Amino acid sequence: MSYRVSRRLLIGSLLATAATGACANAPERSLRPPARPLHGRAQTAPDAEALIAEAKLGGKVSYLVADARTGKLLEGRNVREPMAPASTAKTFTTLFAFDRLGQGYRFRTRLVADGKLSGSRLDGDLVLVGGGDPTLDTEALAGMARALRAKGITEVTGRLRYWGGALPYQHEITPGQPDHLGYNPAISGLNLNFNRVYFEWKKKGNGYAVSMDARSDKRRPLISTSRMKVANRRSPLYTFKDGRDAEIWTVAKPALGKGGGRWLPVRHPDRYAAEVLRVLAGAEGISIAGGLAAAARAPAGAVLAERQSDDLRSIARGMLKYSTNMTAEVLGLSASGQPSLRASASEMDSWLGASYGAAGARLVDHSGLGGASRVTVEDMVSVLTAAGPAGPLRPILKDIPMRDAKGRPIANHPIAVQAKTGTLNFVSCLAGYAGLPGGRVLSFAILTGDLKRRASLHDEEQERPPGARAWNARAKHLQQALIERWGQVHGA
């Protein structure tokens, strides 16, 4: 299905309102419409340019706001400036996946017999066949192991093989990131725990006891396909080597302190998932004689166990709430059928142009993690307005509370915002819908970024750049200030 809105309507509104002074064509400065009463009180709306100057972000600030029902453009700034969208790109990915796959789509993961069943024994190989499920976790695999045991199977004479060919393998989402960042994992047709492994360390004498596991709330299966060694050095913090049978990590000893843990990315998630299944099967009393091996194809044997994901709408809701990059890439690749992230993102660009008239999007992935992606607020608001306040996107966006000076949510604030946030180093974005007093709904996008400052960061600064936290706080304060301004100016 398609949620296309006429590009002529939006552009016509832009040009028509320019004649009355309400909005300039691709304005460089924001508008100054007269203030209106808000919540029964006459207030003077702050000037948008003054709010932007007060934020002291540097770089560029771009925004556009429209009536979400009529498409009438109300005010904007730098509306055709290409900006990094960060995770607000996930709104595009959601609509793309809904259109190509359907909101009821479910991913399937199967255990397939590649051999002959003889009572409680499988004479041959057991194959873990992935269907791309981005939400597969340790508990789901444990359920599949239980289902296998419930069929009476206790012995596999061959190997545990795994197949991740349902999606094209991607070593990482975006290059140029430090190896240890868990939000930039590999992508496969067989994924587990958002393709992350848990590294835990505890002080032991003059050294450390370290472990790598695929933990859940109930289980902590130890694995050997990712291994960690403590190194006597100060930097770098981590090193990574992609070995033939395992992913080899080292960590700098002085950074460990008394103990702790963190999630690290997995580069071979299909192999990782198979090892975890092997451990869980053993806990159910199922012995597998052979080792782990990749399968060249998905076998056509008997399905011994199957796990279906939640429907796509539920998966997308979780992705938008928690901004999981891996989920976004899986949804985009599944929707496009393309062989790489770059090709898949290009396919989505073409779809945005054909379905919404948003022809200026130039994305390099589906999550927004790649800093080279560019989109204009004009295109983003065009898509949001076309999807509409009663469409499939708004109900699954996250509620964004208005906050007081101490950062606390304001109860019963007259403006209700459902939107997607987006954050990279020195990039902060917000795009979605704002319900105003009187029932008017706005579609909006605010994209801010100091790309020159971002580009100047050294590798060791990528995870916690100096000044980034304060910059992001100012950007978020600006976003709220602009939305509150719109409530005063454009509310009933």
Among 256, 193, 183, which Cα is nearest to 425's?
183
Report the distance separating Cα 171 and Cα 188, nearest Å: 9
- Alpha-carbon gap, residue 282 to 101, rounded angstroms: 36
| CATH number 3.30.70.1140 given to 7-103+312-490 | no
| Identical topology for domains 7-103+312-490 and 107-309 | no
**pLDDT tens for each residue of the chain, 492 residues long:** 433 334 333 433 333 333 222 333 333 344 344 444 444 443 588 999 999 999 999 999 999 999 999 999 999 999 999 999 999 999 999 999 999 999 999 999 999 999 999 999 999 999 999 999 999 999 999 999 999 999 999 999 999 999 999 999 999 999 989 999 999 999 999 999 999 999 999 999 999 999 999 999 999 999 999 999 999 999 999 999 998 899 999 999 999 999 999 999 999 999 999 999 999 999 999 999 999 999 999 999 999 999 999 999 999 999 999 999 999 999 999 999 999 999 999 999 999 999 999 999 999 999 999 999 999 999 999 999 999 999 999 999 999 999 999 999 999 999 999 999 999 999 999 999 999 998 999 999 999 999 999 988 887 777 889 999 999 999 999 999 999 999 999 986
Nearest one of 476, 474, 475, 420 to 445, comparing CA atoms: 420
Task: Please enumerate, as own/partner, the contacts of 401-404 that have beta carbons within 8 Å and a separation of 24 or more.
Answer: 402/480, 402/483, 402/484, 403/480
Q: What is the 3-state secondary structure (H, E, C) of 98-111?
A: HHHHCCCCCCEEEE
Q: Are 318 and 327 in contact (CB under 8 A)?
A: yes
Each domain of the chain, given as residue ranges in start order, spans 7-103+312-490, 107-309
Level-2 CATH architecture, domain 107-309: 3-Layer(bba) Sandwich (3.50)
**Omega of the bond leading into 236 within 30 degrees of 0 (cis):** yes
Q: Distance between CA atoms of 286 and 153, rounded to whole angstroms?
A: 7
Alpha carbon distance 398, 21 (integer Å): 34
